[in-house]
Amino acid sequence: MEFNLTEEQQHIRAAVRELCRKFTGEYWRKLDRDRAYPEEFVQTLTGAGWLAALIPEEYGGAGLGITEASIILEEINYSGGNSAACHAQMYIMGSLLRYGNAEQKSFYLPKIARGELRLQAFGVTEPDAGSDTTKIKTAAVRQGDSYVINGQKVWTSRFQHSDLMLLLARTTPLEQVEERTGGLSLFLVDLHAAGDSIEARPIEAMVNHETNQVFINDLRVPASALIGEEGKGFRYILDSWNAERILIASECIGDGRWFVERASRYASDRVVFGKPIGTNQGVQFPIAQAHAHIEAADLMRYKAAWLFDSHQKCGAEANLAKLLASQASWEAANACLTTHGGYGLAVEYDIERKFRETRLYTVAPVNNNLVLAYIGQHVLHMPKSY
């Protein structure tokens, strides 16, 4: 058993940490205030090749695994930044790499690796289906060499800053499939070619996150936009979902460490009643407890990432990692905010911003109730709630 990072992984961590140093709390704070996209940060990250980490070397990427991708995203959040502006390219990649055909890969991957195209939009959630993905209504109908797609998505993030969208649609109506996960298909949609047939309306959210309602009207895509086989999209998307859970866990771990470090430093420095507040166990123990939970979640994240990278089943571990890490980062966020007293709410400390940002991860990209349902039903074989 080996718990140490390899030399290459240590190098990646150090290099991303150095890159992130240039993007200070002030940078992220201003974006948050202006509700603006971190264009300069994403450009810099792309230029350094980090967003192409998962793309095989033959296509111009770094040929790394989810473990390394998770280190990159963890470092962004640990630096005080927010990976949500660009993390989708890492988790969507799983579907394209594993199920895309040779033409799709040789056409898109080099362009994504060079930063000429961004694959940052993932259109799954719909207003009427919510967490029940098999109930999505967006339908793709085959017409000759094309599919015509109609429907509506919600919470489609980074749409306005992406060139490509991975879209899930029904190609066989729910009533006609034997299993409800059947009849769903994945499409790689060129958003420039889509023109007016896709309309995005921004959703204002608690966090600075470019996310949208998306209306799809008679969108015609070539049949070559289909990923893998028609009707098997749900199976393909599971790989992206497992990657997503592992990567979100790593972002939460980065957040959690940021909160714990800030909290323990402040608890040691801030003197009230003639002594540092951290000498009081009421202040010290919640920080220590959060640290313990983050470290435990981190082990599950690495186990899940290792299983994913070695092409083994990782659904249970990916879900456990996401659950434990999102709970731990939220616990750390609360301990940090409480430790700072009133200053925890002052914008210039960045704590309230990170507090809002990390709160998202108990809700999305999958909410923790659904993660518990997965563990209860698929891991522990208890009866299904839905």
Ligand X SMILES: Cc1cc2nc3c(=O)[nH]c(=O)nc-3n(C[C@H](O)[C@H](O)[C@H](O)COP(=O)(O)OP(=O)(O)OC[C@H]3O[C@@H](n4cnc5c(N)ncnc54)[C@H](O)[C@@H]3O)c2cc1C
- Residues engaged in binding ligand X (CB under 6 A): 122-125, 130-131, 155-157, 205, 209, 211, 360, 363-367, 369-370, 373, 385-386
List, in sequence order, every residue forming a beta bridge with 165; answer none if it has no partner: 121, 189
Give how far Cα 350 sits from Cα of 26, 286, 290, 310, 312, Å: 8, 20, 19, 38, 39
Nearer to ligand X, 171 or 208 (CB): 208
Nearer to ligand X, 19 or 88 (CB): 88
Nearer to ligand X, 79 or 211 (CB): 211
Out of 75, 244, 331, 357, the active site residue is: 244
What dihedral angle (degrees, nearest 10) is formed by the CA atoms of 372, 376, 378, 381? 180
Nearer to ligand X, 67 or 152 (CB): 152
Residue 219 Cβ vs ligand X, minimum distance, rounded to whole Å: 17
Nearest to 154 by CA among 187, 191, 127: 127
CA–CA dist 386, 375 (Å, integer):
14
In angstroms, the first-to-last Cα distance of the chain is 39
| Residue 18 is among the residues annotated as catalytic for this protein | no
Residue 261 Cβ vs ligand X, minimum distance, rounded to whole Å: 26
Nearer to ligand X, 211 or 358 (CB): 211
User: Pairing relation of β-strands 164-170 and 119-123?
Assistant: parallel
Residue 157 Cβ vs ligand X, minimum distance, rounded to whole Å: 3
Residue 209 Cβ vs ligand X, minimum distance, rounded to whole Å: 5
Nearer to ligand X, 211 or 327 (CB): 211
Cis status of the peptide bond prior to 276, with omega within 30 of 0: no
- Which residue in the block uniquely carries the two structure tokens 């490509």? 164
List, in sequence order, every residue forming a beta bridge with 157; answer none if it has no partner: 211
Residue 371 Cβ vs ligand X, minimum distance, rounded to whole Å: 9
Nearest to 40 by CA among 19, 16, 57: 19
Nearer to ligand X, 127 or 222 (CB): 127
B/e letters for 272-286, b = 16+ CB within 10 Å, e = fewer, are: eeeebbbeeeebbeb
Nearest to 252 by CA among 300, 309, 316, 211: 300
3-state DSSP percent of the chain in helix, strand and coil, to 5:
60, 15, 25
Residue 212 Cβ vs ligand X, minimum distance, rounded to whole Å: 9
Which residue has the CB atom at the shortest distance from ligand X?
A: 130
The DSSP-derived string for 329-368 is HHHHHHHHHHHTGGGGG-GGGSHHHHHHHHHHHHHSSS-H
Residue 307 Cβ vs ligand X, minimum distance, rounded to whole Å: 23
Which residues are known catalytic residues? 244
